[in-house]
Amino acid sequence: MKIHNVVRKNSYYDSVTLMLISKQLKQVEGLDDVSVMMGTPANRVILQEANLLGPEGETAGPNDLILAFRAPEDIDVQWVINKIDEQMSKKTAAGKNADKMVIHSAVKAYQDDPDTNLVFISVPGEYAAIEAERALKYGKNVFLFSDNVSIEDEVYLKTMAAQKGLLVMGPDCGTAIINGNGIGFANKVKSGNIGLISASGTGLQEVICLLDAMELGISQAIGTGGRDLKEAIGAATMLQAIDMLINDSNTQTIVLISKPPAQSVVEKIITKVAGTTKKVVLCFLGSVIDKVPSNITVAATLEETALKTALLSGKQPELLTTESKLAGWAQEAKAKLASGQQCVRALYAGGTLCYEASLVLGETLGPIYSNTPLRKELLTHDVVVSGQHTAIDLGDDQFTMGKPHPMIDGSLRNEYILKVAKDSQTAVLLLDVVIGYGAAEDPAGELVPVIENAKKAAAANGNTLVVVAYVCGTNQDEQNKAAQVAKLQQAGVVVTTTNAQAARLARMIVDERRNG
């Protein structure tokens, strides 16, 4: 196989579009290890480390597009280039609206349409802060999808935004729903009176989708970026957003979501919401929070957050499968497994869903090894650790550098599913399927043949692979949650109604084998 680089001079694409183009190009016959990147210095280093950088790519500039791939020595490169152009034309044509004018500079857009108040920024990290500062100077709120922005730049941007009465969502902000409009990875959900603020993208998606399933709607869903609740940032965006929701007449209940924040930040947030007459639900996954004011309800999981929010809204939650039914499923699965099958292996597209699964699994199973571990001594980047349970976030930077996110392209997870299935100690394969704006068109449909092959691989070793999954989304999403669930069930996958429930079921199967 030979490395090829095709460079398109002065052809800028944002990172979301590049991820989608990468997925399309993988369908071109004969191409291997496809990566599509802007020619920034950092991206060229990534390509070099992946052994995909050729002489043409080495000379590319930040505004040039690099299409890097491996192909057989005898392949007709011009034919490949034509196929690449064909796929890119499809993608760019699909993204255009004939009724809208194409504007080639952000400044011109701000000048031509001064009434717009929100800018979506998805450029390489080294340029993201510059673009965000420019947007703030023009009086625009910022949704900063880009990552690799320094903490110093984040502090500067959020301080500047606060002084101007503006909001910076991000960097590395994946999800928001503002005035009914989904931004980034979001879902179609009902409008209502519940306002959410979250440092976790899929954590926010999980809660709003569960609320939707219980016939509850949202007023706003505001993302803060994953670092916002670190001590260096001090929850700058979350504190601003809390003020906004307190003053929003359409919001009656406020829900706050994050992985464990710094303790000093927890105290700031509790002090901020203690004075409001509105109901507040607090979910800081993995944190122990005691002695909160009477208007604050603490939840331990995303599932519990949705259920407690529903109760505060006067709804009696009915979305969960009963524990007795879970126990029945666990007993049925246990009977099919060989004696050596003892481990849960979780492969996740959603980072916060993975973290929640680790918490739930760890309640009784002991150590859960992960690339986003509950404790630093449990850190691993391997999907299989001999004799141990694992929960791997495949959307983490180590897996996505130069490649599409697994919510867009499941190719990498598909490879790992087969690896997990072939391991004789695997009892349960635990998966999430995230649908909605920006996600793959049919993620369950793409998973089904992979799961079927994985079951065959396990059977070849005398094992039965039990697959448990959860679909995060709604029936209003383009992919349709019910349709996705049905496809998985037809392939013999046990599908639960929440992510935490999927983890509990996986835990019960292994617990019962250990104690049976």
With bands split at pLDDT 50, 70 and 90, how would you rate the model's confidence at 117? very high
pLDDT single digits (tens) 223-240: 999 999 999 999 999 999
- What the block records as the tokens of 291 is 């002695």
Per DSSP, the three-state class of 180 is coil
Strand 2-8 relative to strand 65-71, pairing: antiparallel
With the CA atoms of 16, 17, 19 and 25 taken in that order, what torsion angle do they form, in degrees rounded to the nearest 10?
A: 170
- The reported pLDDT for the residue numbered 115 is 86
Sorting pLDDT into bands at 50, 70 and 90, what band is 92?
Answer: low
Q: Which residue has the higher pLDDT, 6 or 301?
A: 301
Q: Decide if pLDDT at 7 tops 60.
A: yes
pLDDT band at 15 (very low <50, low <70, confident <90, very high): low
Dihedral pair phi/psi, residue 139, rounded to 5°: 80, 30
- As a whole-number percent, the residues of the chain with pLDDT over 90 amount to 69
Check pLDDT > 70 for residue 200: yes
Kindly report the backbone phi and psi dihedral angles of residue 37, in degrees, each rounded to the nearest multiple of 5, phi listed first: -145, 155
- Strands in 296-298's sheet, in edge-to-edge order, are 181-184, 175-178, 218-223, 191-198, 253-258, 279-284, 296-298
- Which pLDDT value is given to residue 516? 45
Q: Which residue has the higher pLDDT, 84 or 296?
A: 296
Closest by CA position to 457, among listed 412, 432, 421: 421
Distance in angstroms (rounded) separating the CA atoms of residues 132 and 144 = 7
d(CA 15, CA 131): 14
Bridge partners of 257, per DSSP, are 198, 283
Structure confidence at residue 127 (pLDDT): 86
**Res 237: pLDDT:** 98
Render pLDDT for 337-393 as a digit per residue (tens, 0 to 9).
Answer: 999 999 999 999 999 999 999 999 999 999 999 999 999 999 999 999 999 999 999
Mean model confidence pLDDT for the chain:
90
Q: At 32, which amino acid appears?
A: D
Domain 323-515 has CATH 3.10.20.30: no
The residue-averaged pLDDT of 12-19 equals 71
Is the pLDDT at 96 greater than 60? The verdict is no
Query: What tens digit of pLDDT does each residue of 29-39 get?
Result: 777 778 888 88
Nearest of 325, 370, 327, 320 to residue 345 by alpha carbon: 370
**Domain 2-94 bears CATH identifier 3.30.70:** yes
Q: Which residues contact 407 (CB under 8 A, 6 or more apart)?
A: 185, 349, 350, 395, 434, 438, 439, 440, 443
Q: Which CATH superfamily is domain 106-312 in?
A: Succinyl-CoA synthetase domains (3.40.50.261)
In 22-102 the beta strands, taken as DSSP E runs, fall at 32-38, 65-71
The larger pLDDT score, comparing residue 305 to residue 323, is at 305
Give the Cα separation of 212 and 206 in Å (integer).
10
Instruction: Tell me the pTM.
Output: 0.87
Q: Where are the domains of the chain?
A: 2-94, 106-312, 323-515
Closest to 306 (Cα-Cα) out of 296, 293, 319, 294? 319
Q: What pLDDT is attached to residue 398?
A: 81
**Is the CB of residue 223 less than 8 Å from the CB of residue 175?**
yes
Question: What backbone torsions phi and psi does residue 266 show, to the nearest 5 degrees?
Answer: -55, -45
Higher-confidence residue: 447 or 412?
447
DSSP, res 100: S
| Per-residue confidence (pLDDT) for residue 515, from 0 to 100 | 46
Q: Residue 12 to residues 9, 37, 144, 208, 431: CA-CA distances in angstroms?
A: 9, 10, 17, 34, 35
Decide if pLDDT at 94 tops 60. no
pLDDT band at 95 (very low <50, low <70, confident <90, very high): very low
pLDDT higher than threshold 50 for residue 266: yes
Given CA atoms 5, 10, 16, 21 in this order, what sign does their dihedral have? negative
Q: Where are the alpha helices (DSSP H) in 113-250?
A: 125-137, 151-164, 201-213, 236-246
Residue 291 above 70 pLDDT? yes
Residues 268 and 234: beta-carbon distance below 8 Å:
yes
Instruction: Give residue 97's pLDDT band: very low, low, confident or very high (50, 70, 90).
Output: very low
pLDDT at 74: 79
Q: Do domains 2-94 and 106-312 have the same CATH topology?
A: no
The C-alpha atoms of residue 154 and residue 420 are separated, in whole angstroms, by 38
How far apart are alpha carbons 48 and 2 in whole angstroms? 14
